[in-house]
Structure 1
Amino acid sequence: MFKIKILEERCKSCGLCIHFCPKKVLDFSSKRNFQGYRVVYAKYPERCNMCGICYLMCPDVVFVEEGQE
């Protein structure tokens, strides 16, 4: 089960999380944040194994564990 919260307003659409996710869980949505960037979302949440690579790759600390925002 996908247990990661995505803080959409921090996302700058760099795509590092999408590129490095080994399970290809993430993708860009059509939704935009207040800065105009397309935000990342869990396209295939059932694939997530909580490896944490998205946490490590994101320069803007977009990913947090549920309840840690």
Structure 2
Amino acid sequence: MAGKRQFRVNINHNFCKRCGICYWICPTKTITKGELGKPQVLDHTTCIGCSMCENSCPDFAIDIQEVEAVIENA
């Protein structure tokens, strides 16, 4: 049985200049504006893996990775 694909948003804050493009363009608002304009992710489960933030980031500070599903045998 296939479940919903899950993704993790990794933000390299050493590269990020806090331009705001990522939280402006995110369709699910997974990336939000944090303290002093710093992008933050409070809930990775809302990410749909569209990569719009990753492709739009002028600083190459965002990496979207698919999370492997953990299947537990009952």
What TM-score, normalized by structure 1, do the two folds share?
A: 0.71
2:20 equivalent to 1:15: yes
- Partners of 1:16 and 1:23 in 2: CA distance: 14
Tell me which residue corresponds to 2:53: 54
Q: How many residues align?
A: 60
* Alpha-carbon distance, 1:64 to partner: 1.9
Q: Tell me which moved more, 40-49 or 11-20.
A: 40-49
Q: How does 1:25-64 map to 2 (within 5 A)?
A: 25-30=30-35, 38-64=37-63
Q: For structure 1, list consecutive stretches of 5 or more residues without a partner in the other structure.
A: 31-36
* Alpha-carbon distance, 1:4 to partner: 2.7
Superposed structure 1 runs of 4+ greater than 3 Å apart: none
2:21 equivalent to 1:6: no
Return closer, same or farther for 1:20/1:49 CA change in 2, 3 Å cut-off: same
Identity %: 27
* Alpha-carbon distance, 1:53 to partner: 0.5
- Partners of 1:52 and 1:65 in 2: CA distance: 7
